[in-house]
Amino acid sequence: MSEREETMVVAFQGEPGAYSEQAVHEHCGPETRTRPCRTFTEIFESIHNGQATHGMLPVENSLAGMIAPAYDLLIDHDLRVQAEVIVKVEHYLMAPAGTQLKDVKRALSHPQALAQCEQSLRRLRIQPVEHYDTAGAARDLAANPQPGTAAIASRLAAETYNLEVLAQHIEDQPFNYTRFFLLGKTDPPRQDPSKTSIIFTTRHIPGALHAILGELADRGINLTKIESRPRRNRPWHYRFFVDFEGHESDENVQVAMLGILKHSSFLQVLGSYPMARPIDN
């Protein structure tokens, strides 16, 4: 175990074996200590009260889009993005030892996972049964086996709860990825290529958003993502979440940020961090 793995404790939402814990293992190392949390809010609280040094927060899915509650919490808490982590979501059908695939009539999992496996379940003539969590379904099935019942979760969940994999890669869409932010209290060492994430609000005047985005375009900065979320204290006004290539210490980024600050009514920098490796399609 490396010194980093020994000192890190990474909070994640879900039960042990969740895809978020898989993200921790893939990015930080398989021996990294983790702390399961019931909610996204608990991830942030665990870091602030010292129960965890970092948090692994899902922020976007390639099929379902933005995970809005995660971005709302990023506004409320002063944590820095230390890395982005992209995990391929691969669903596995699993059951207690001795179960045969032909005998499975029901599959427990989170509604989103069931929806992502709808065609496969129909082909296998398996009835979907909703559960609050993918890894939680695997855990509960292992603790209380039921004839003809399986769970859909990650391979890590199957390993965690000693369940046998009956079918693998049963997701209907092969290009299903979830993007995570690794959060911490400090900025990470610079590692290029870098990406920067910011939140801003505009003044309620014509051309306000155009002017802000022009600050990036005029300096050759590539915009990689833009999303909007309603402001909770001002109906029909919006916060914008933007990712772009480059580091906040770069001269052109610093000039652009000054321009954005001039045109915006609020600006928050979530951090500059190493860019995840491109997805190989």
**Cα separation, 108 vs 106, whole angstroms:** 7
| Structural tokens at position 268 | 């928050």
Is the peptide bond preceding residue 193 cis, with omega within 30 degrees of 0?
A: yes
Beta bridge partners of 129: 108
CB contact at 8 A, 70 and 59? yes
Q: How many alpha carbons lie under 13 Å from residue 125 in its C-beta half-sphere?
A: 4
CB contact at 8 A, 66 and 57? no
CA distances from 198 to 46, 71, 195, 248, 274 (A): 23, 11, 10, 10, 15
Q: Is 180 a catalytic residue?
A: yes
- In the set 40, 44, 180, 200, the catalytic residue is 180
Q: Is 32 a catalytic residue?
A: no
- In the set 178, 196, 201, 202, the catalytic residue is 178
CB contact at 8 A, 14 and 133? yes
CB contact at 8 A, 197 and 83? no
**Cα separation, 179 vs 150, whole angstroms:** 27
**Cα separation, 86 vs 180, whole angstroms:** 6
* Measured distance between the N- and C-terminal CA atoms of the chain, rounded to whole angstroms: 32
State how far Cα 63 lies from the chain centre: 13
Q: Which of 11, 10, 15 is nearest to 132 (CA)?
A: 15
Q: Which residues are designated catalytic? A: 178, 180
